[in-house]
Structure 1
Amino acid sequence: MTPASPALSPPPPASTGDTLDLILHHLLPVLLVAALSAKSLVGRWRLVHSKLSILLSSLSAAASASPYSSGNPLFTDLLPNLLTTLRSLEPLSTRCLDPTLPSGKLHLQSDLDIATASLGLHLHDLELLLRSGLLNQANPHSTAIVLSLPSASASRADLSLYVRDLFARLQIGTIDLKIKALDSLQQFLASDPPKIAPVVAQEGDLAFLIRLLDPSSHSLIRDSAAAAVSLLATASASSRRSLFDEGALGPLLRLLDTGSLAVKEKAVVAVEAIAADATNAWAVAAYGGVSILINACRPGSGSPAIQSLAAASLNYISAIDELRASMAEEGAVPILIDLLASGVPLSSKNAALCLWSLASFGGEPIRVSIIEEGGLRNLLQLLHDYSLSADPDISEHTLRAIHALSFSAAAAKTLSSSPGFFVLLTDLIRRSSAATQLAAAAVLSNLSPSDELKRSMAPSMVALVKMLESSKPESAQEMAARALVSLLSVHSNRKELARDEKSVMRLVQMLDPGREEVCKKFPVSVVLALAAGGGGGCRRRLGDAGVSSQLQKLADADVPGARKALHRIAGGRFKNLFSFVRRE
């Protein structure tokens, strides 16, 4: 019995150089001649010849870049696949030498079309590698399966090379390589977003990255691409603009509408960042994004993060006159009102801000709609719940929405007869941030509460006097003055403020023509209200503080109300003196 021969081990894989040599010097020359010699399907073989000629030129360029090209994993992975395609063309060319095609034309035509399409894909990948420059220069990352991040001190050239390598892997590599490249891209962007994002936008193929958001993409690739786009959208204005210009908004809105929860969260971050630009906000509506964003705000439609950012996006859209009516027609108002009561501070805050915009600029019909849907009730509850919140923006945005609604007679009547609301206003004016104080003063100045409610707000007057000195924002002095004039219509409030020497001295100092940061008509209106009838004690204290001399200067300068205030104070002092003489 003859001994069994040992099993033959498979031949070692050919090196990159050997494969390249085989293609360049053996296969391509033969196929180029064969393509011109074909007697059947001549038109198709002319197309093949054209592609083979381009391939010869491109491979020659890649070969001249050795040893860099031979060490690039994308290039080394490409060559075996290219070799397989070229070898499939050999028998096809032989069969096409016979014009009668005895074995049948349709099957041969199909095989040739498949091989030609594969050849076109390989050629596309090779040209992409050549354009990227990855085959023509030393790249420390070129042989790595998982790219390591460039150092913090890396030059712009190194960063650019790294980005081109990442995007080449995205477009040419296998699914695993694409996923690893996307992971590396996310880490790269997160390492220093303001610095890295513009480089990625300039050197990377954003259009291809956006195409990965398509529903037909592999789910892992689509999810990772959404995360990368989200980082680019929030990192810098230039990268955000590049995404918009490349058409990212439509795919992002589609993901927000139909994607998984994780993908929706990434998509809405990007949509909110893009929509913050007024020009882009128009495009959101053009892509049908209003209804998508409204649905994203619905209870149970997503996470609190999705709801809050969707509400913020709607707020940007509501700033556009022509789109507010569309928002109302799409059903935004009741959804936003429900969001006020979500219990999630950021969602409630953004909903309040959006309702403020709708109520401020949408006209009386939208204000009535908000009130009828329970918007005022929910806003008051939100103000009560978060009046002492660590986030002062919640109270500010809520008050701004309430102020906008107060221009409706029904809302003004409800607010003016709500003691609890005025307790909150008093506390907010005394203890909150400057922006919240301004919003509270604006609400107060727009209402007509009873004298009893005005008396309950007396503790806020000192803070309002201080607010009169604020140079920013411009409306602060006006709102403080209007609120004070309203409160000083009550005699007891006038007496209380006049007894506060610091507040009186502040008013006198604000009347000084040298204090240019204070618009004089506002402290003048407060002095005029403080010197109103009902006893001369207030006028006497103002006179003793030196207000008359300041008012005289302002009267000479024709400041509105100054002359009237001067006459009121001087007349009061004369009457007091006359009464004293008569008693003597």
Structure 2
Amino acid sequence: MGEEESNLICQSSAEKPRLKQAIVLISSLISLSHSIKVFTAKWQSVRNKLEELFSNLTAIENCESNENLSLSIAVESILGTLKNCDELAKQCLELSYSGKLLMQSDLDMLSAKLDTHTKSLSDIYAAGLLTQSNAIVVSRPSVSASKDDIRFYMNDLQSRLKIGSSDMKKQALDAFNEVIQQDERCVKIAVEIDGFIYLLVNFLDFQESEIQEEAAKAVSLIAGFHTYKSVLIGAGIIAPLIRVLESGSDLSREFAARCLMKVTENSDNAWSVSAHGGVTALLKICGSSSHCGSELIALACGVLKNLVGVEEIKRFVVEEGAISEFVELARSKDEAIQICSLDLLQTMAYRDESIRKMIIEEGGIHALVRILDPKSSVSTKTREVAFRGIANICFSSENSISILLNCAFMDHILYFLRYGEVSVQELALKAAFWLCGTSEEAKKVMGDAGFMPVLVKFLDSKSFEIREMAAETLSSMLIVPKNRKKFVQNDQNVQVLLQMLDPGEVNSGNKKLLLSILMSLTSSNSARKKILSSGYLKSIEKLAEAEVSDAKKIVRKLSSNRFGSMLSGLFWHS
């Protein structure tokens, strides 16, 4: 045994004081480096490496080294480098260095040595030569903390992630996840620290489920910041996330799916997910509803919704027979699954008649109408999605309209027009408008069902869009003679129309549509009588005087019949 090694063994009993000496010296050098005004970029790099080394040493200080020879050698080597660093710092402060190029070279060599020391400490811990004692994570920086304080904290966490035991790693990940939810600066600084994001990505393949879960949560949280999604992609996040989807714990899979949903909002990343088998993994989750949690299935549908925007991926999903699975999910009793699967089906059906046909053939219409049944105990949001689904999937073919009319869809629309919450009422009104425009038969059935009095009530809505849609739907229905007759039989219907034309009426917009409706009604003797005796005739006359075309036509129609005597004294010029 050599004399130097023998001396080091003797020093091992004093290992802790030497370690403490190194920690104190690094702290002093970090503080000193802020005062240096030359080679600032070089010293910034040195300071970052000193901070990382400081965190590693403080983490090791909380471990039992058992008089470890490797650690003693490493600490002595570190002290030598720190002494050299102190000399270089003083030269730069006093501007006493012999040349700029030489000093730049010396600082580069110093940085390389610090990297070597950090690696050697990691190797010592990885070799199992240290055991955790009472490791305490550095106090979390407050909201008012400086960037330097946050960087110090993040470096400390990184050190514990690198060299800590499983418990220490979990503790550090948990602390990281808490702090990045409170202060976005922590995410920014973590991204800037060399290797931090790669470390998190590598933990996705960790065997211990708790660490994998915390890592998956971390990358999911980071993906929530738009600015940093590209950093995750650059660190190779896609493949590990898919491996977690395939074999991770339930919680890890949920976080992984959530992260994938965020990063695939950019369609450029869709191909990467597909290339690593992600589409197959997601389809497997959707097809295993009895073995996977509802949250995971809903998230998988969300990721697929982002992916099917790529035509080739959508075709692959169809070829895998997934449409029937998604329709089955739409029948689920879990509303999150219902909503996400319906959103996915609508996205796939957009401008694609063949897929719409497949959805209908798989029973999609019945699944959608079932959700709209007033007796079903689903949320307003689910009904909103179902209404949109019917509009996007069903109103494109006569066959689908026929199915809708035969499975009580019209009854459901009418119910929600009468009793639904405002948001659902609006969607029901849109559905009535779309349905009315599909066929003459639909108009007749709607007239018999009692839609017209309900639509008349919407003519007085505060919303211009609702008034307009109600008027357009009513105008379309009154093309049918049978509906006109039924409409006129109700005195209140004609009265409301005329009242809406009164210039003093608050919600008197949509005059063109209202006049169009009145014009269609003037073919009825009964309607003409009601208009002439209503007391609102002057409103129509004023509009005619203002050269409103339909108003002039109505007045002509009224004056040309056997009730013309009632308009004596009024002369009209075209």
Residue matched to 1:35: none
Alignment equivalent of 1:228, drawn from 197, 218, 236: 218
CA distance in 1, matches of 2:412, 2:140: 53
Does the Cα contact within 8 Å between 1:315 and 1:357 map onto a contact in 2? yes
1:166 Cα deviation (Å)?
A: 1.3
Quote the residue 2:260 is aligned against: 271
Counterpart for residue 246 of structure 2? 257
Counterparts of 1:531 and 1:381 in 2: how far apart (Å)? 41
Residue 151 of structure 1 corresponds to which residue in structure 2? 142
> Which one of the candidate residues 73, 87, 92 is aligned to 2:59?
73
Q: In 2, distance between residues paired with 1:282 and 1:552?
A: 65
1:162 corresponds to: 153
Task: Say whether the 8 Å CA contact 2:330–2:339 is kept in structure 1.
Answer: yes
C-alpha deviations, 1:527-568, integer Å up to 9, x for none?
A: 54555546325654595371453466474xxxxxxx346414
CA deviations 1:82-132 (Å, max 9, x no partner) are 447879xxxxxxxxxxxxxxxxxxxxxxxxxxxxxxxx99955616999xx
Instruction: Quote the offset at 1:248 in angstroms.
Output: 1.9
- 65 and 568 in structure 1: CA distance in 2 versus 1, 3 angstrom threshold: closer
Distance 1:452 1:67 in 2: 79
2:167 to 173, 176, 198: 176
Which residue identity lines up with residue 422 of structure 2 in the other structure?
Answer: S
CA distance in 2, matches of 1:157, 1:261: 37
Task: Calculate the TM-score normalised by the size of structure 1.
Answer: 0.68
RMSD between aligned residues = 4.5
* 8 Å contact kept, 1:429–1:460: yes
- Retained in 1: the 8 A contact 2:201–2:215? yes
User: Does the Cα contact within 8 Å between 2:518 and 2:554 map onto a contact in 1?
Assistant: no
Shift of 1:359: 2.5
Structure 1 position 305 matched with structure 2 position 295:
yes
For residues 390-469 of structure 1, what are the structure 2 equivalents within 5 Å? 391-404=379-392, 405-418=394-407, 420-430=408-418, 431-434=420-423, 436-437=427-428, 439-448=430-439, 449=442, 451-456=444-449, 457-466=451-460, 469=463
Instruction: Work out the percentage of aligned pairs sharing the same amino acid.
Output: 23
Task: Answer yes or no: is the 8 Å Cα contact 2:187–2:222 preserved in 1.
Answer: yes
CA distance in 1, matches of 2:230, 2:487: 55
In the alignment, structure 1 residue 18 sits paired with structure 2 residue 39: no
Which one is further off, 298-307 or 378-387? 378-387
| Residues 244-296 of structure 1 deviation map (CA, whole Å, 9 limit, x = unaligned) | 34332332222122222221122122222223344444544444333322222
1:55-454 correspondence runs (5 A) = 72-74=58-60, 80=68, 82-83=70-71, 124=116, 126=118, 145-190=136-181, 192=182, 196-203=186-193, 205-214=196-205, 217-234=207-224, 236-281=225-270, 283-298=272-287, 299-363=289-353, 365-384=354-373, 389=378, 391-404=379-392, 405-418=394-407, 420-430=408-418, 431-434=420-423, 436-437=427-428, 439-448=430-439, 449=442, 451-454=444-447
The CA distance in 2 between the partners of 1:386 and 1:156, in whole Å, is 57
In 2, the alpha carbon distance for the partners of 1:508 and 1:329 equals 59
* C-alpha distance 12-197 of structure 1, shift in aligned 2 (>3 A): closer
1:575 partner SS: coil
Q: Deviations over 1:48-68 (max 9, x none)?
A: xxxxxxxxxxxx999999996
The aligned residue for residue 544 of structure 1 is 537
Residues 370-428 of structure 1: CA deviation (Å, up to 9, x unaligned):
11111111111112167774x4221121111112222122101122344x321211222
Cα distance in 2 for partners of 1:66, 1:332 equals 50
* In structure 2, C-alpha distance between the alignment counterparts of 1:266 and 1:409, rounded to whole Å: 43
Report Cα offsets for 1:444-482 as digits up to 9, x if no partner. Answer: 3343325243232234303542569435xxxx6764444
Please tell me whether the aligned partners of residues 197 and 232 of structure 1 are also in contact (alpha carbons under 8 angstroms).
yes
Give the unaligned 5+ runs of structure 1. 1-9, 23-59, 88-119, 131-142, 556-562
Paired letter, 2:448: R
SS at match of 1:369: helix
Please give the per-residue CA displacement for 1:136-172, whole angstroms capped at 9, x wherever unaligned. Answer: xxxxxxx952344333433343233322221222123
Question: Does structure 1 retain, via aligned residues, the 8 Å contact 2:257–2:299?
Answer: yes
- Indicate the larger mover: 489-498 or 75-84: 75-84
Residues paired across the two proteins, number: 474
**C-alpha distance in 2, partners of 1:332/1:160?**
47
